[in-house]
Structure 1
Amino acid sequence: MTPHAPIREAWLALADEPVLDPAQPILDAHHHLWDRTGSRYRTEAFLEDAGCGHDVRASLYVQCRTGYRTSGPESLQPLGEVDTILEWSASAPNHPVGIVAFADLMMGHEVRNTLDALLELAPDRVCGIRNTTAYHPDPAVRSNPQPARDGLLRSEAFRQGAAEVARAGLVLDVWAYQTQLHEIEALARQLPELTIVIDHCGGPLGVGPFRHRTPADFAAWRAGIETLAALPNTRLKIGGFGLAVFGNDYHQQAVPPLSRQLATDWSPWFEVCLEAFGADRCMLESNFPVDKGMFSYVALWNAFKRLTRALSQKERDQLFWKTAASTYRVAFDERTTPHGVS
C-alpha cells in the first residue's frame, strides 16, 4: 500500500495561479513514471504537468521499479525499467533526458555486469544508479511501498557496489532519512571518486517520533546537511516537500496550497540547503507524481521561483538546470524550446 497522498485532479483544479518567470529554463532533476494498479503516470501525464506554462525543457527519471523484466537473470531484470521508459518517451526524448536506473549494489563488485548491460542498452540515457535505502525502525516513518531493511548503506557489499558505480562513470543517488546522513557521510568519505546526490533535502522528518518538528530535530538535520556539504563529492536535490514523511498535510486542506504558502513553509529547509551546498551543488526537483497528491506542478515551481528571487540569474540557472545537467552530464540547450512541451 502506498504511503503517499493520493492524486485528486478535481481537488488540484480548485486552485490556480499564473506562472511566474515563465522564461526561466528548467531541468526537472527528479521525477518518476509508472503504470500500477490504481495509479498510472506515464510520459504523457508528466508532459501534461510539465506543459503547464513553466519552461521545463528536460527532466531526469529516477527508478521506481517500473516495468522490470519477468524472465532471465534476476540481476538483469531491472533493465526492463530502462526499456519501458525509452518506449514511453520515444516521442519526447528530453523527458527524460537522463535515467537514474536500478542495479543491486548489494551484489558488490559483481554488479559491474549489470552496470555494463545498462550502459550498453542506453548509453546516452543511463546516467546514475539508485537503490532503496531509506530506513527507520518506527513504522510511521515510511516513504516506500517496499521499505529498505536496515544497514544497506553501512554494508561492505554496498560500498563495493558503489565503487563500481564510480568506475562505470555513473552518479549514485541516495534517498535516506536525516537519521541516516552519517551513513552517507561515511560512504562519501570512503569513495571520494564517487559523486553522491542526496535526494529530497536529506530526508528531514516530521512524522512518528519527529511529528513535533522540534528545534533539536531541525538542528540535527541541519548538522547532517552541513557535514555532507563539506565533502566535495556530494550534491543535493532540493524538493520532496510533498512526501508524507516530511510531515506536511497540504492534502488535508479544503483547497490546494498556492506557491506563496509553499515558499513560506519551505523556506527554513531551503535556506539551510542553499547556504550549505551553494547553488552550484544544488538542483531542484519536482518528485512528481509522488508529490502531486499535495500540490500542483505550477505551484511547486512558482514556490521555487519565489524562494530564489533574491539570487542572481547565474545562481538561479545553477539551481534550475545547470547543476543537474553538469552532475549527470546530460545535454540541456537553454536556447531552444522543449521537445513535446508547449
Structure 2
Amino acid sequence: MQPLPVVNQTILEPELRIIDSQHHLRDRRDSHYMFDDYVQDVQRGHNIVASVYVESMSMIRVDGAELLRPIGEIEFANGVAAVSATGKYGPCRIAAAIVGYADLRFGDAIAELLDRALAAAPDRLRGFRQCTLEHPDPAVWRYVPHPPEAGIMSHPQFRDGFKQLAARDLIFDAAVFHHQLPEITRLADDFPNTTIVLNHIGQVAGTALKNSDPTQAFAEWRRNIAELARRPNVMCKVGGMGQPYFGFGFELQDRLPTYLELASAWRPWAEAVIEIFGVQRCMMESNFPADRRSCDYVTLWNALKHIVVQASKSEKNALFHDNAARVYRIET
C-alpha cells in the first residue's frame, strides 16, 4: 500500500484542537507506517494535540504463552508514547491513550493479560479491541490481509472474557461490518455499564461489491445504527470511510481527491451517524494508515471539518476533541 504524494493545501480551521481518536503504527509487508511517519503527518498543519493508538496486531510477541503475546504491542505503544511525551517530536502527544488487543475467547483466563497490560502501561491503557469482522462474500477479504476467524462474538467464552474488561472499567472498541451491528447491540445490552466504542461508523461492506445496491446498504446500515444508538453506553467514531469497503473508489484513482470530493462522498454517512448518536457521542478519527488508501492526512481532516462546517464552535470542539478526551481520559 504505497501512498500517493502529499499535496500542499490550505488547512481549514487550523486552530481547532483535534484528538485523533484512532490510528495505528505498524511495520508489515503490506503496510509500513511507524512513529516517524505519523509525526510527519500530524505536523502538516492541523492542530493534532493527542492521539489514541488502537491495536492492529502489530508488534505481537512471537514466543511465550499465546494468551500473553499481545502485551508486546502495548509495550511498543507505551514506548512510543513515552518518546512523544518528551516533546522533542512536536506538541502532539502521540498514543496518549492506548487500546490493546485481547482474544476474549480465552474467557476468564484473559484476566492475566489485562492485569499485566495495565501494569505495563498504567497511565495510558484505556481499553481493548478484538476485530470481529465477518462477511460471506470472499471478495471483501481482498482488503483485509489478516481476516479474523468467524464466530468470535458467539464463542461460548467470549462473554466471560468481556466480563473481565467490565470488571476493570476498560473500554471495548468494536470493529464489525454493518450487518453485524445487531450483535454489538446485544453486547451493549448485556454489559450496560461498559463503554463500547464503535469503530468507523460500523463500516459498510457491500457497496464496493459487484451486483450490490448502495442504497439498500445505506438503509440497512442506518436502521442498525439507529437501534444501536439507543444504547447510551455506545459511542461512535466518525471516520474509516477511506477504506475500500464503502465503495467510493478513491483508492482506484491515479490522483489524490480534494477534500470537497471526499466530503461530498462521506457526508451522507457522517451526517446520519452524528444526527443519530448526537454530537456528544461521536468522535473524529483518521484511521491512518488504513485510510491512506484513499487520501492523505491533511485532506482527510479538511474533509471531516468541511462536513460539519455549519456546526457551532462547541459542537466542533466536542466532535474533534472533547469527546475523545472524556472517553479515553486524555489530558491535553
**Normalising TM by the smaller chain, what interval?**
over 0.9
Find the residue that maps to 2:287 and give its secondary structure. Answer: coil
**Cα distance in structure 2, aligned partners of 1:301 and 1:176:** 23
Match of 1:188 in 2: 188
Residues 1:23 and 2:22 aligned together? no
Bigger relative contact order (CA 8 A; separation at least 6)? 1
**Cα distance in structure 1, aligned partners of 2:172 and 2:144:** 19
Contact preservation (8 Å) 1:50, 1:56: yes
1:114 partner letter = L
Using the aligned pairs only, state the percent identity.
37
1:35 partner letter = D
How many residue pairs align between the two structures? 323
Residues 1:12 and 2:5 aligned together? yes
2:11 partner letter = V
Q: CA offsets per residue over residues 170-210 of structure 1, 9 Å max, x none?
A: 10001100110011111111111111111001112223367
> 1:1-342 maps to which residues of 2 (within 5 A)?
6-8=1-3, 11-13=4-6, 15-37=7-29, 39-93=31-85, 94-142=93-141, 143-205=143-205, 206-208=207-209, 211-213=212-214, 215-331=215-331, 333=332
**Cα distance in structure 2, aligned partners of 1:251 and 1:236:** 24
Q: CA deviation at 1:301?
A: 0.5
1:208 partner letter = L
1:207 partner letter = A
Q: Which moved more, 1:322-331 or 1:190-199?
A: 322-331
Q: CA offsets per residue over residues 12-35 of structure 1, 9 Å max, x none?
A: 33x432001000000000000011
2:307 partner letter = L
**Cα distance in structure 1, aligned partners of 2:168 and 2:229:** 24
Match of 1:340 in 2: none
Q: 1:38 to 1:266 in 2, by over 3 A?
A: closer
**Cα distance in structure 2, aligned partners of 1:86 and 1:195:** 22
Contact preservation (8 Å) 1:133, 1:153: yes
RMSD, matched Cα: 1.5
Q: CA deviation at 1:38?
A: 5.6
Find the residue that maps to 1:97 and give its secondary structure. Answer: strand
Q: CA offsets per residue over residues 200-251 of structure 1, 9 Å max, x none?
A: 01112223367431x2221110000000110011000010011111112112
Q: 1:110 to 1:220 in 2, by over 3 A?
A: same
Q: CA deviation at 1:74?
A: 1.5
Q: CA deviation at 1:70?
A: 2.1
Contact preservation (8 Å) 2:243, 2:293: no
**Cα distance in structure 2, aligned partners of 1:316 and 1:154:** 38
Contact preservation (8 Å) 2:80, 2:95: no
Find the residue that maps to 1:201 and give its secondary structure. Answer: coil
Find the residue that maps to 2:251 and give its secondary structure. Answer: helix
Contact preservation (8 Å) 1:30, 1:60: yes
Give the alignment's TM-score, normalised by structure 2. 0.93
Contact preservation (8 Å) 1:42, 1:88: no
Q: CA offsets per residue over residues 110-129 of structure 1, 9 Å max, x none?
A: 21111111001101111010
Q: CA deviation at 1:89?
A: 3.8
Contact preservation (8 Å) 1:16, 1:258: no
Name stretches of at least 5 consecutive residues in structure 1 with no aligned partner: 1-5, 334-342
Q: CA offsets per residue over residues 30-67 of structure 1, 9 Å max, x none?
A: 00001123642111110101111000000001101111
Name stretches of at least 5 consecutive residues in structure 2 with no aligned partner: 86-92
